[in-house]
Chains A and B, each alone.
Chain A
Protein backbone atom coordinates (compact mmCIF):
# COMPACT_ATOMS: atom_id res chain seq x y z
CA UNK A 1 0.00 0.00 0.00
CA UNK A 2 0.87 3.66 -0.08
CA UNK A 3 2.76 5.39 2.71
CA UNK A 4 4.38 8.73 3.47
CA UNK A 5 7.22 9.26 5.93
CA UNK A 6 8.23 12.67 7.20
CA UNK A 7 10.26 14.00 10.09
CA UNK A 8 7.91 14.66 12.98
CA UNK A 9 9.70 17.31 14.96
CA UNK A 10 9.15 19.64 16.53
CA UNK A 11 11.61 21.47 14.34
CA UNK A 12 12.75 24.72 15.92
CA UNK A 13 14.52 27.37 13.85
CA UNK A 14 15.40 31.01 14.18
CA UNK A 15 13.81 33.59 11.93
CA UNK A 16 15.53 33.88 8.52
CA UNK A 17 17.01 30.36 8.77
CA UNK A 18 16.88 27.89 5.88
CA UNK A 19 14.18 25.23 6.19
CA UNK A 20 14.12 21.65 4.94
CA UNK A 21 11.41 19.19 5.92
CA UNK A 22 12.07 15.74 4.51
CA UNK A 23 9.33 13.64 2.95
CA UNK A 24 9.69 10.24 1.32
CA UNK A 25 6.93 8.05 -0.06
CA UNK A 26 6.00 4.57 -1.16
CA UNK A 27 3.37 4.18 -3.85
CA UNK A 28 2.27 1.53 -6.29
CA UNK A 29 1.72 3.85 -9.24
CA UNK A 30 2.71 7.35 -10.25
CA UNK A 31 1.35 9.50 -7.48
CA UNK A 32 0.68 13.19 -7.22
CA UNK A 33 2.41 14.78 -4.24
CA UNK A 34 1.27 17.57 -1.96
CA UNK A 35 2.29 19.69 1.00
CA UNK A 36 -0.44 20.99 3.29
CA UNK A 37 -0.05 23.46 6.14
CA UNK A 38 -2.15 23.70 9.29
CA UNK A 39 -1.93 26.86 11.38
CA UNK A 40 -2.92 26.64 15.05
CA UNK A 41 -6.64 26.05 15.49
CA UNK A 42 -7.32 25.93 11.76
CA UNK A 43 -7.97 23.41 9.01
CA UNK A 44 -5.55 22.26 6.35
CA UNK A 45 -4.51 24.51 3.49
CA UNK A 46 -2.93 23.27 0.30
CA UNK A 47 0.56 24.77 0.14
CA UNK A 48 1.91 23.29 -3.08
CA UNK A 49 1.72 20.28 -5.35
CA UNK A 50 3.52 18.32 -8.06
CA UNK A 51 1.82 15.83 -10.33
CA UNK A 52 4.73 14.22 -12.18
CA UNK A 53 8.41 13.47 -11.80
CA UNK A 54 10.77 16.47 -11.79
CA UNK A 55 7.90 18.92 -11.33
CA UNK A 56 8.61 21.68 -8.83
CA UNK A 57 5.75 23.03 -6.79
CA UNK A 58 6.10 26.47 -5.23
CA UNK A 59 4.04 28.88 -3.19
CA UNK A 60 4.70 31.63 -0.60
CA UNK A 61 8.46 31.09 -0.83
CA UNK A 62 8.19 27.34 -0.24
CA UNK A 63 9.37 24.85 -2.85
CA UNK A 64 9.40 21.08 -3.30
CA UNK A 65 10.64 18.96 -6.22
CA UNK A 66 9.13 15.60 -7.12
CA UNK A 67 12.10 13.19 -7.21
CA UNK A 68 11.03 9.82 -8.53
CA UNK A 69 14.51 8.28 -8.31
CA UNK A 70 14.68 8.92 -4.56
CA UNK A 71 10.89 8.80 -3.97
CA UNK A 72 11.12 12.14 -2.19
CA UNK A 73 9.33 15.49 -2.04
CA UNK A 74 11.27 17.59 0.46
CA UNK A 75 9.88 20.99 1.44
CA UNK A 76 12.30 23.94 1.46
CA UNK A 77 12.23 27.65 2.19
CA UNK A 78 15.19 29.97 2.03
CA UNK A 79 14.28 32.31 4.90
CA UNK A 80 11.56 31.41 7.37
CA UNK A 81 9.42 33.85 9.31
CA UNK A 82 7.65 33.58 12.65
CA UNK A 83 4.38 33.42 10.72
CA UNK A 84 5.51 30.12 9.14
CA UNK A 85 5.10 28.38 12.49
CA UNK A 86 2.59 25.61 11.81
CA UNK A 87 2.25 21.88 11.22
CA UNK A 88 3.22 20.73 7.71
CA UNK A 89 1.85 17.55 6.15
CA UNK A 90 3.22 15.70 3.14
CA UNK A 91 0.59 13.69 1.25
CA UNK A 92 0.15 11.62 -1.88
CA UNK A 93 -2.65 10.56 -4.17
CA UNK A 94 -2.29 7.82 -6.72
CA UNK A 95 -5.68 8.27 -8.35
CA UNK A 96 -4.91 11.34 -10.45
CA UNK A 97 -8.28 12.93 -11.02
CA UNK A 98 -10.12 9.92 -9.64
CA UNK A 99 -11.85 9.29 -6.35
CA UNK A 100 -9.23 7.80 -4.01
CA UNK A 101 -8.28 9.77 -0.96
CA UNK A 102 -4.96 11.16 0.20
CA UNK A 103 -2.34 9.29 2.20
CA UNK A 104 -0.73 11.61 4.73
CA UNK A 105 2.48 11.66 6.68
CA UNK A 106 2.19 12.23 10.42
CA UNK A 107 2.99 15.93 10.18
CA UNK A 108 5.98 18.09 11.14
CA UNK A 109 5.52 20.76 13.78
CA UNK A 110 7.62 23.80 12.84
CA UNK A 111 8.42 26.48 15.41
CA UNK A 112 10.12 29.68 14.29
CA UNK A 113 11.65 31.83 17.02
CA UNK A 114 12.20 35.56 16.57
Chain B
Protein backbone atom coordinates (compact mmCIF):
# COMPACT_ATOMS: atom_id res chain seq x y z
CA UNK B 1 0.00 0.00 0.00
CA UNK B 2 1.21 3.49 -0.81
CA UNK B 3 1.61 5.80 2.15
CA UNK B 4 -1.18 8.10 0.95
CA UNK B 5 -3.67 7.00 -1.69
CA UNK B 6 -6.37 8.85 -3.55
CA UNK B 7 -8.71 7.99 -6.38
CA UNK B 8 -7.52 10.00 -9.38
CA UNK B 9 -11.06 10.70 -10.60
CA UNK B 10 -12.36 12.68 -12.27
CA UNK B 11 -15.14 13.15 -9.75
CA UNK B 12 -17.97 14.94 -11.48
CA UNK B 13 -20.69 16.65 -9.43
CA UNK B 14 -23.43 19.11 -10.33
CA UNK B 15 -23.29 22.67 -9.07
CA UNK B 16 -24.78 22.94 -5.59
CA UNK B 17 -24.12 19.31 -4.66
CA UNK B 18 -21.78 17.96 -2.01
CA UNK B 19 -18.43 16.74 -3.33
CA UNK B 20 -16.77 14.03 -1.26
CA UNK B 21 -13.05 13.42 -1.70
CA UNK B 22 -11.34 10.55 0.06
CA UNK B 23 -7.82 9.62 1.04
CA UNK B 24 -6.49 6.49 2.74
CA UNK B 25 -3.16 6.23 4.49
CA UNK B 26 -0.73 3.68 5.86
CA UNK B 27 1.01 3.32 9.22
CA UNK B 28 4.10 4.98 7.72
CA UNK B 29 2.65 8.47 8.05
CA UNK B 30 1.91 10.58 11.06
CA UNK B 31 -1.75 11.27 11.69
CA UNK B 32 -1.80 14.93 10.76
CA UNK B 33 -3.31 15.64 7.36
CA UNK B 34 -3.42 18.45 4.87
CA UNK B 35 -5.73 19.09 1.94
CA UNK B 36 -4.29 21.19 -0.85
CA UNK B 37 -6.19 22.51 -3.87
CA UNK B 38 -4.36 22.86 -7.17
CA UNK B 39 -5.89 24.59 -10.15
CA UNK B 40 -4.62 23.52 -13.55
CA UNK B 41 -1.22 25.04 -14.23
CA UNK B 42 -0.98 26.55 -10.76
CA UNK B 43 0.74 25.68 -7.50
CA UNK B 44 -0.91 23.85 -4.58
CA UNK B 45 -2.56 25.96 -1.91
CA UNK B 46 -3.58 24.75 1.55
CA UNK B 47 -7.31 24.68 2.23
CA UNK B 48 -7.64 22.48 5.34
CA UNK B 49 -5.61 20.64 7.92
CA UNK B 50 -6.78 18.10 10.50
CA UNK B 51 -5.07 16.01 13.14
CA UNK B 52 -7.83 15.06 15.56
CA UNK B 53 -10.40 12.33 15.06
CA UNK B 54 -13.73 13.68 13.87
CA UNK B 55 -14.76 16.66 11.78
CA UNK B 56 -13.28 20.09 11.23
CA UNK B 57 -15.31 22.70 9.40
CA UNK B 58 -14.20 25.84 7.61
CA UNK B 59 -16.86 27.57 5.54
CA UNK B 60 -18.07 25.19 2.83
CA UNK B 61 -15.26 22.74 3.57
CA UNK B 62 -15.31 19.93 6.13
CA UNK B 63 -12.38 17.63 6.77
CA UNK B 64 -13.09 14.29 8.43
CA UNK B 65 -10.49 12.03 10.02
CA UNK B 66 -11.14 8.42 10.99
CA UNK B 67 -7.99 6.99 12.56
CA UNK B 68 -9.46 3.53 13.16
CA UNK B 69 -10.20 3.08 9.46
CA UNK B 70 -7.20 5.13 8.32
CA UNK B 71 -8.99 7.48 6.02
CA UNK B 72 -9.42 11.21 5.76
CA UNK B 73 -12.10 12.94 3.71
CA UNK B 74 -12.81 16.40 2.39
CA UNK B 75 -16.42 17.44 1.86
CA UNK B 76 -17.27 20.50 -0.19
CA UNK B 77 -20.82 21.72 0.31
CA UNK B 78 -22.69 23.76 -2.28
CA UNK B 79 -20.05 22.95 -4.89
CA UNK B 80 -19.30 25.71 -7.39
CA UNK B 81 -17.65 25.52 -10.82
CA UNK B 82 -14.78 27.49 -9.25
CA UNK B 83 -14.12 24.44 -7.03
CA UNK B 84 -13.08 22.46 -10.12
CA UNK B 85 -9.45 21.58 -9.42
CA UNK B 86 -7.24 18.73 -8.29
CA UNK B 87 -7.29 18.09 -4.55
CA UNK B 88 -4.15 16.70 -2.96
CA UNK B 89 -4.07 14.87 0.35
CA UNK B 90 -0.77 15.00 2.26
CA UNK B 91 0.66 13.72 5.54
CA UNK B 92 4.06 13.83 7.22
CA UNK B 93 6.28 10.78 7.26
CA UNK B 94 6.22 9.16 10.69
CA UNK B 95 8.73 10.86 12.93
CA UNK B 96 9.49 13.59 10.41
CA UNK B 97 7.21 16.59 10.40
CA UNK B 98 9.42 18.28 7.85
CA UNK B 99 8.67 15.81 5.09
CA UNK B 100 5.22 15.52 3.58
CA UNK B 101 4.10 12.72 1.33
CA UNK B 102 1.39 13.58 -1.15
CA UNK B 103 -1.29 11.47 -2.74
CA UNK B 104 -1.60 11.61 -6.52
CA UNK B 105 -4.63 13.87 -6.23
CA UNK B 106 -8.30 13.66 -7.17
CA UNK B 107 -9.56 15.80 -10.02
CA UNK B 108 -12.92 17.39 -9.24
CA UNK B 109 -15.18 18.76 -11.97
CA UNK B 110 -18.23 20.78 -10.93
CA UNK B 111 -20.61 21.26 -13.82
CA UNK B 112 -23.36 23.92 -14.01
Asked whether A and B interact, the reply is: no
